[in-house]
């Protein structure tokens, strides 16, 4: 039997090229030069003894052989990536450091409770916490090769699982001068005259859409006033001056300034706290920390005033 020598990189280039059907576009997606993409495809074709693409001066199309081999290439590539990832994790098994990427509200409340508990029951574990702006937890986790992500509406990653840990009550943040600030609850439709202070949709589309859907379900179609990622940060003066309002999870209330008040909604709503993690991580201490995170999240949900 003829031996075939194929690299992981060649398979990756083939898969991306089959998707893009354009050498320049594939090169951009792979962060490689166009000659490198062409060379890797040529090497793969020589190794396999078939042409994977039909090329002309105007178009590039999958050949019959390329189309037949694509699914197997994707499967083999995924298996090899998993193989390499597992080996890499085992190589780090003696380093008892777990990197956790968390969004602002999680850093404020859940993560301190997790670290406090871990110090007691996992004293040899080092938790390296990274704060990430709303909507960036998944990308920061990927870029830093981190272990666990904590936030809301997290995007999935290959090899990772998204789990909902808990759900937090939503509050309307109003100026203390707003007529509804002293009310025990507020109906969102009563805030129709104020714009909603919210980050740009591209930062976290699912989170943004969930907030707007919440408003619509309660009879409000707000004008959106875009702000940076931390809406109770540098733009909170707009709320304090009664020029806007915003919606936050309960864990963010502790960081409101004195001129703001968080008011429960008359029709309550919830926002999820999610965890992104590798379900098959071979390092036992990672699984132990994940159990601590689950337990702390459940306790915070059952006892909102408890932090530890």
pLDDT attached to residue 101: 95
Residue with more model confidence, 142 or 84: 142
Instruction: Tell me which DSSP letter residue 152 carries.
Output: S
CA distance 239 to 8: 53
Give residue 280's pLDDT band: very low, low, confident or very high (50, 70, 90).
confident
Instruction: Tell me which DSSP letter residue 261 carries.
Output: E
SS3 271: strand
Residue with more model confidence, 2 or 144: 144
Cβ neighbors of 288 (< 8 A, separation 6 or more) are 121, 122, 125
Instruction: Check if the beta carbon of residue 110 is closer than 8 Å to that of residue 149.
Output: no
Fold of 8-91: Arc Repressor Mutant, subunit A (1.10.10)
DSSP string, 97-137: EEEEEE-HHHHHTHHHHHHHHHHHH-TT-EEEEEE--TT-H
pLDDT tens-digit series, residues 91-147: 677 778 999 999 887 877 888 999 999 999 999 899 999 999 888 899 899 888 899
123 CB neighbour count, 10 Å cutoff: 7
CA distance 71 to 6: 16
Give residue 61's pLDDT band: very low, low, confident or very high (50, 70, 90).
very high
Q: Give the residue from 89, 105, 106 showing the smallest Cα distance to 97.
A: 89
pLDDT tens-digit series, residues 173-189: 999 999 999 999 999 99
60 CB neighbour count, 10 Å cutoff: 17
Give residue 239's pLDDT band: very low, low, confident or very high (50, 70, 90).
very high
Residue 93 half-sphere exposure toward CB, CA atoms < 13 A: 10
Residue 221 φ/ψ, nearest 5 degrees: -115, 90
Cβ neighbors of 164 (< 8 A, separation 6 or more) are 272, 273, 274
Residue 65 φ/ψ, nearest 5 degrees: -65, -40
Top-level class of domain 95-308: alpha beta
Domain ranges of the chain: 8-91, 95-308
CA distance 104 to 111: 10
pLDDT attached to residue 142: 86
């Amino acid at each position: 039997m003829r031996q075939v020598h194929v690299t992981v990189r060649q398979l990756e280039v083939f898969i991306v090229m089959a998707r893009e059907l354009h050498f320049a576009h594939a090169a951009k997606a792979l962060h490689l030069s166009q000659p490198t993409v062409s060379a890797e495809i040529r090497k793969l074709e020589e190794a396999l003894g078939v042409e994977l693409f039909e090329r002309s001066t105007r178009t590039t199309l999958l050949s019959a052989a390329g189309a037949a081999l694509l699914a197997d290439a994707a499967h083999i590539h995924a298996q090899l990536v998993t193989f390499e990832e597992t080996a890499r994790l085992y190589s780090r098994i003696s380093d008892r450091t777990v990197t956790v990427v968390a969004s602002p509200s999680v850093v404020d409340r859940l993560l301190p409770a997790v670290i406090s508990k871990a110090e007691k029951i996992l004293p040899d574990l080092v938790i390296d916490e990274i704060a990430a702006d709303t909507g960036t937890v998944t990308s920061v986790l990927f870029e830093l090769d981190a272990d666990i992500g904590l936030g809301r509406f997290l995007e999935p990653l290959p090899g990772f699982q998204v789990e909902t840990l808990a759900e937090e009550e939503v509050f309307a943040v109003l100026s203390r001068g707003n007529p509804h600030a002293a009310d025990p609850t507020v109906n969102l439709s009563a805030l129709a005259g104020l714009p909603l202070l919210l980050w740009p949709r591209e930062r976290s589309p699912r989170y943004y859409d969930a907030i707007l859907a919440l408003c619509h379900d309660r009879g409000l179609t707000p004008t959106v006033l875009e702000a940076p990622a931390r809406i109770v940060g540098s733009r909170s003066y707009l709320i304090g001056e009664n020029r806007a309002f915003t919606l936050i999870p309960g864990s963010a209330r502790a960081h409101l300034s004195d001129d703001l008040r968080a008011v429960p909604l008359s029709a309550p709503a919830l926002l999820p706290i999610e965890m992104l993690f590798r379900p098959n991580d071979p390092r036992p201490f990672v699984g132990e920390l994940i159990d601590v995170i689950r337990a702390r999240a459940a306790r915070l949900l059952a006892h909102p005033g408890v932090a530890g």
